[in-house]
Amino acid sequence: MALNKITDMAFRNLKASDKVQIIADGGGLIIRVREKKDGGAISFMLSYRIAGKQHQMTLKAKGLKEARYERDVYKEILKQGKDPSLERALQAERVRQQQLDEQEAITKLQARITIRGLFDHWHGTDLINRKDKDEVARMFNKDVLPMLGDLFVEDVRKFHITQVTDPLLVRGVAHLARNILKLMRQMFRFAVDRDFIEFDPTASLGITKTTTKPTERDRILTEVEIRTLARQLPAAHLLISTECAIWIALSTMCRIGELSKAKFSDIDLELKTWFIPKANSKNHNSHIIYLSDFAIEHFKALTFVAKSDTWIFPNRDNSCHVCEKSITKQVSGRQSENIFSNRSKNNQALVLTGGKWTPHDLRRTGATIMGNLGIAPDVIEKCLNHTEENKVKRVYQRQKLEAEQAEAWQVLGNRLNLLVNMDNSNVVLLHSMN
């Protein structure tokens, strides 16, 4: 410890004069008293030598005791061969960087977004033009957000994702688990693109390994089953509109969602056409179905049970069309795997020998009947409103084959009429469908 040369009493009695006063206190500590005209302020400096050169630095202390302590700290730094002035600058930079880091951490904390907030942002921007956005919202509100909604996005890990999918596997809805995992992956990729997170927590989760393999349905109703269905439908006690929907779906090969959203204004019974706007079409291509006499018969039946002036299949309060899954659920409910289920006394009414079937299988069935009746594949594709996969054909072959389509639908309708409405014990069945 350096020997101090000025007493506390002498320091307290220092007075400003007409000249600057420089007083050495020992150990390199210098007391500086400004002139009267400059206010007579007292400051402290440290004089030291390093690497053969003399240096001076102003100290931050305001009093003698503090100055001596600061001097002693810097003297220890000198003993380590370090320049006190440089060390003080480095320490100031370290403090500044720490403050910046803390501010950045606070900013990030304030900007954190929960899974619920991310979903709302994703649903309101990326999904705004998707037709299934309401269904996606329903799935997330039921199976994802109750589990993960309050978690911060950057805190989500793989095991959080499987906390959503595993219960679905236990419930026996593996394909729902697959679809939800695919949707979560889309949402997290959106989050990466928007810089909410750096990495997608679903990226290393294999969809098939985590859930199940994709399946392509190939269920086709045979002509024997179609005849059986015609006999079983009355006992199923479905809504008349649902019965009509089944035969319309089979005879037009439409998608059940397109039928659910149909309006009376889309149907022209005189021209025998049904216009499907692109807003209702899966591939965003508008489509005209040329109605057979069989299809028209069932559209006419719908006019007698209509509860809405607008919607052919209205919801309960007639404010919009029925849910796209409504018809499928009614058909599925009449094919219960549990014969003792108490949910409906008609829960086995629509069971067919070929196994469980859905309204979408009717689309595949109608196309197969057309093929068996000799309709050309390209005409069938037009009737199905499929997008041509071959780019060259898609660009250069723009013919609509309207007359051929109209004939194809009429041929299909005539065949269904034979199977369903007539005493057809002598009808030759197309066994090639079996």
- Predicted local confidence at residue 357, as pLDDT: 93
Determine whether domain 115-210 maps to CATH 1.10.150.20: no
Where do runs of H (alpha helix) occur along 80-114?
84-111
What distance lies between CA 284 and its chain's CA centroid? Answer: 21
Residue 177 pLDDT > 50: yes
CA-based radius of gyration for the chain: 41
Look over the chain and give the mean of its residue pLDDT values, rounded to a whole number.
Answer: 88
Residue 348: Cβ within 10 Å count: 17
Q: How confident is the model at residue 344 (pLDDT cuts 50, 70, 90)?
A: low
Where do runs of H (alpha helix) occur along 112-199?
115-125, 133-139, 145-148, 158-170, 174-193
Q: How confident is the model at residue 387 (pLDDT cuts 50, 70, 90)?
A: confident
Give 234-250 pLDDT, tens digit per residue: 989 999 999 999 999 99
- Predicted local confidence at residue 395, as pLDDT: 41
The three-class DSSP label of residue 117 is helix
Residue 104 pLDDT > 90: no
What value does the mean pLDDT take over residues 132-154?
Answer: 93
150-159, 165-174, 216-225: lowest mean pLDDT where? 216-225
3-12, 31-40, 100-109, 304-313: lowest mean pLDDT where? 100-109
CB 140 within 8 A of CB 122: no
Structure tokens that stand for 384 in this block: 């199905």
Structure tokens that stand for 356 in this block: 């469980």
Main-chain dihedrals φ then ψ at residue 3, nearest 5 degrees: -80, 125
Main-chain dihedrals φ then ψ at residue 433, nearest 5 degrees: -80, -20
CB 260 within 8 A of CB 312: no
- Order of strands across the sheet with 21-26? 21-26, 29-33, 42-50, 53-58
Q: Write down the CATH superfamily of domain 8-97.
A: Integrase, DNA-binding domain (3.30.160.390)
Q: How confident is the model at residue 3 (pLDDT cuts 50, 70, 90)?
A: low
What value does the mean pLDDT take over residues 71-89?
Answer: 92
56-65, 208-217, 267-276, 424-433: lowest mean pLDDT where? 424-433
Question: Could you tell me the residue ranges of all domains in the chain?
Answer: 8-97, 115-210, 223-433
Q: pTM for the complete prediction? A: 0.58
For CA atoms 293, 294, 297, 303, give the dihedral sign: negative
- Order of strands across the sheet with 267-268? 267-268, 273-276, 287-290
Residue 244: Cβ within 10 Å count: 23
- Predicted local confidence at residue 396, as pLDDT: 42
98-107, 140-149, 208-217: lowest mean pLDDT where? 98-107
The answer for residues whose C-beta is within 8 angstroms of residue 324's C-beta and 6 or more apart is 135, 256, 257, 260, 261
Question: For the residues of 151-166, what is the DSSP string, one character each?
Answer: SBGGG--HHHHHHHHH
Q: How confident is the model at residue 112 (pLDDT cuts 50, 70, 90)?
A: confident
Residue 171 pLDDT > 70: yes
What distance lies between CA 434 and its chain's CA centroid? Answer: 40
Residue 426: Cβ within 10 Å count: 7
Looking at domain 223-433, its CATH architecture is: Orthogonal Bundle (1.10)
Give 34-66 pLDDT, tens digit per residue: 998 888 899 999 999 998 899 999 999 999 999
- Predicted local confidence at residue 327, as pLDDT: 93
What value does the mean pLDDT take over residues 80-88?
Answer: 92
Helix (H) or strand (E) holding 49: strand 42-50
Of the chain, the percentage scoring pLDDT greater than 90 comes to 65
- Predicted local confidence at residue 433, as pLDDT: 46
What value does the mean pLDDT take over residues 283-307?
Answer: 92
If one compares 420 and 431, the residue with the highest pLDDT of the two is: 420
Structure tokens that stand for 61 in this block: 């202390």
For CA atoms 63, 64, 68, 74, give the dihedral sign: positive
Q: How confident is the model at residue 111 (pLDDT cuts 50, 70, 90)?
A: low
Of the chain, the percentage scoring pLDDT greater than 70 comes to 89
Q: How far apart are CA 205 and CA 339, in angstroms?
A: 38
Q: How far apart are CA 249 and CA 362, in angstroms?
A: 6
Residue 109 pLDDT > 70: no
Give 179-216 pLDDT, tens digit per residue: 999 999 999 999 999 888 889 999 999 999 999 887 76
Q: How confident is the model at residue 425 (pLDDT cuts 50, 70, 90)?
A: low
